[in-house]
Amino acid sequence: MKRLPLDDSFKVNRNPVTLREIVLDKLRSAIMNFQLLPGDRLVERDLCERLGVSRTSVREALRHLESEGLVEFADAKGPRVAIITLEDARDIYELRCVLEGLIVQLFTLNAKAKDIRALEKALAVNRKALEERALSDVLSSVQGFYDVLLEGSGNQVAATQLRQLQARISYLRATSVSQENRRGVSSDEMERMVAAIKSGDPMAAHQASVDHVRAAAKVALESLRQQRNDDHKVRDIAAPIALKEPRIGH
CA distances from 166 to 11, 99, 124, 203, 210 (A): 38, 12, 22, 24, 17
- Give the model's pLDDT for residue 17: 61
Computed over every residue of the chain, the mean pLDDT equals 84
CA distances from 162 to 40, 152, 239 (A): 27, 14, 41
Alpha-carbon span 177 to 129, nearest angstrom: 12
Q: CB-hemisphere CA count at 13 Å for 90? A: 6
Phi/psi for 153 (5° steps) reads -75, -30
Mean pLDDT of 158-185: 84
pLDDT at 118 over 90: yes
DSSP alpha helix (H) spans, 69-201? 86-110, 113-132, 135-153, 156-164, 166-177, 183-198
Residue ranges per structural domain of the chain? 16-81, 86-229
Beta bridge partners of 72: 80
- Give the model's pLDDT for residue 196: 97
Of the candidate ranges 142-146, 150-154, 188-192, 241-245, the one whose mean pLDDT is the lowest: 241-245
pLDDT at 237 over 50: no
Give the pLDDT band of residue 67 (cuts 50, 70, 90): very high
> What is the end-to-end Cα distance of the chain in Å, rounded?
80
Mean pLDDT of 62-78: 90
Contact 153, 116 (CB under 8 A): no
Q: Under CATH, which number does the domain 86-229 receive? A: 1.20.120.530
The DSSP secondary-structure symbol of 41 reads B
Q: Which of 183, 170, 168, 146 is nearest to 91 (CA)?
A: 168
pLDDT digits over 1-31, tens only?
A: 444 454 565 454 565 567 888 999 999 988 9
Residue 129, amino acid: A
**Residues 6+ positions from 68 with CB-CB distance below 8 Å:** 28, 166, 167, 168
Mean pLDDT of 222-242: 60
Mean pLDDT of 115-134: 93
Phi-psi region of 129 (alpha: psi -120 to 50; beta: other; left: phi over 0): alpha
Give the pLDDT band of residue 246 (cuts 50, 70, 90): very low
Q: Which of 156, 169, 207, 154 is nearest to 68 (CA)?
A: 169
Mean pLDDT of 224-229: 81
CATH 1.10.1520.10 fits 16-81, yes or no: no
pLDDT at 89 over 80: yes
Give the dihedral sign, CA 53/56/60/65: positive
- Give the model's pLDDT for residue 20: 86
Mean pLDDT highest for which of 46-50, 53-57, 104-108, 180-184?
104-108
- Give the model's pLDDT for residue 232: 53
- Give the model's pLDDT for residue 76: 78
